[in-house]
Amino acid sequence: MAYRLLDGIRIIDLTMVFAGPVATRILADLGAEVIKIESIPRPDTFTRGNVFPDNVPGDDPWNRGSNFHALNAGKKGISLNLGDERGRGIFKRLVAISDAVVENYSPRVMDNWGLGYEELSKVKSDVIMVSMSGLGHYGPLRDFYMYVPGMEGMSGLTYATGRPDAPPLLTGHAYGDWVTGANAAAALLTALFYRQRTGRGQYVDVSGREAVACHLGDVIMEYTLNGRDPPRTGNRDAAAPHGCYRCQGDDRWVNIAVENDAQWAALCRVAGHPEWTADARFATAELRRHYADELDRMIEDWTSGLQHLEAMRILQAAGVPAGAVLDMRGVNLDPHLHERGFFHAVDHGPGVGVRPVPSQLPAKFSGVPSFVPKRAPRFAEDDGYVFGSLLGMSPEEMETLARDKVIGGPPSFPRARPTRTDLIEQQGSGWFDADYRVALQKRYDSYGRRDDGESR
């Protein structure tokens, strides 16, 4: 019998929004049993209430938010109010039969509840606790409120991002959260290995700012070694041509990155302009960088007559690094991603239906079966399993706790509105691509990867 990599590992997930759920979703994809905890007064509102299927919130919007489905696929879900003393007692009982706790509250929250690492290690001596925050759990700024813009800004990433003649730019897609989540998952795996060797638990303090900063090695080292802040360069690089070039169609582009003279000559040949290689302005890599503006205009004159996928194929066939710039429709329908099992068609249940779920684990392991995630949990869906089967509570005890809103649901949730009111009219007028779902279904049928979402 083949086992997944983290079979037998149980993780309590107290995280919300992006960074923490990314970390625990990676661990769930590796086979761990992840139990996500929310509460009636404190559900994961941001992801549960963000981007509804077909822009319709429905009568239970907390079970329909697509960000929640993507970030929490494969996890169990319970409701437990840690603001209640009984809830904290139940939490400790759950810690006693688990391997790790992951949380991304502000640094003071767990200690204020009496659920910090020192207290939890009294419950289970080898427990692993991963705390995620913007600036870390110690240091003079530990209590600063911090979200992605602050983390990216204080890491140096924002200062280094943008065009030479423009102000600093945020990444715009919570880059810091995804990087922090991946680092936290890796740190927890390292702590599990340490416990296997020593029998001892670990407290792991993950700083989002530092997770972003450690991905800026060349920028930081330029100042460390030479006392210089590298200028913002937009899409430029040390080599040229290097950038994003317009293609045929509305908002269609191809990225090209030429690294050496051989690739430059190959690009000139397939573009039908071998004479470019004889142009004195482009004779060396340094000269090509100097005349990059002129070079970019010449290349875009060629790419603008091609479809973006066609341009990529022509360049790749000639040995020139290039990639089509795909919109989200293109990513969802990409045959290479589907053949590799990056997307899974999962039935998320009433009101959502069959929708693609992307992997959070872009890696394949030999001898280990591919993990198809189950749908994300509906609010408090697994209370019976966790409180009844795992902790042995009686139905009467659970009923009392539910009546007192220590467990159970539904959550306190703001009145839901369509995520994008401007989409309603556009969708009604045929803006929504009706062919997309047909094409998507054909893609899933082609590779046979679909999950009915029922066996959780």
Over residues 345-384, the pLDDT tens digits come to 888 888 888 888 888 888 888 887 767 778 999 999 999 9
**Whether 64 contacts 110, CB under 8 Å:** no
Is the whole-model pTM more than 0.95? no
Rounded mean pLDDT, 247-273: 96
Rounded mean pLDDT, 302-319: 97
pLDDT at 428: 60
Name the most confidently modeled range: 30-44, 46-60, 151-165.
30-44
The angle at the Cα of 218, spanning 214 to 224, to the nearest 5 degrees, equals: 90
Q: Which residue intervals of the chain bear CATH 3.30.1540.10?
A: 242-331
**Whether 240 contacts 295, CB under 8 Å:** yes
Q: Single out the residue of 173, 134, 182, 137 nearest to residue 155, CA to CA.
A: 134
pLDDT at 309: 96
pLDDT at 229: 86
Question: Is pLDDT larger for residue 428 or for residue 340?
Answer: 340
Rounded mean pLDDT, 174-196: 95
Active site residues: 177
Rounded mean pLDDT, 98-126: 96
pLDDT at 365: 85
Mean pLDDT, the chain, as a whole number? 90
In three state form, how does the secondary structure of 111-151 look?
HHCCCCHHHHHHHCCCCEEEEEECCCCCCCCCCCCCCHHHH
pLDDT at 55 over 90: no
pLDDT at 82 over 60: yes
Class of domain 242-331 (CATH, top level): alpha beta
3-class SS at 168? coil
Chosen CATH of 10-214+340-451 out of 3.40.50.300, 3.20.20.140, 3.40.50.10540, 3.40.30.10 = 3.40.50.10540
pLDDT at 430 over 60: no
Q: What percent of the chain has pLDDT over 70?
A: 93
pLDDT at 454: 45
Q: Which residue intervals of the chain bear CATH 3.40.50.10540?
A: 10-214+340-451
Rounded mean pLDDT, 195-206: 97
Give pLDDT tens digits for 313-339. 999 999 999 999 999 889 988 889 888
Beta bridge partners of 362: none
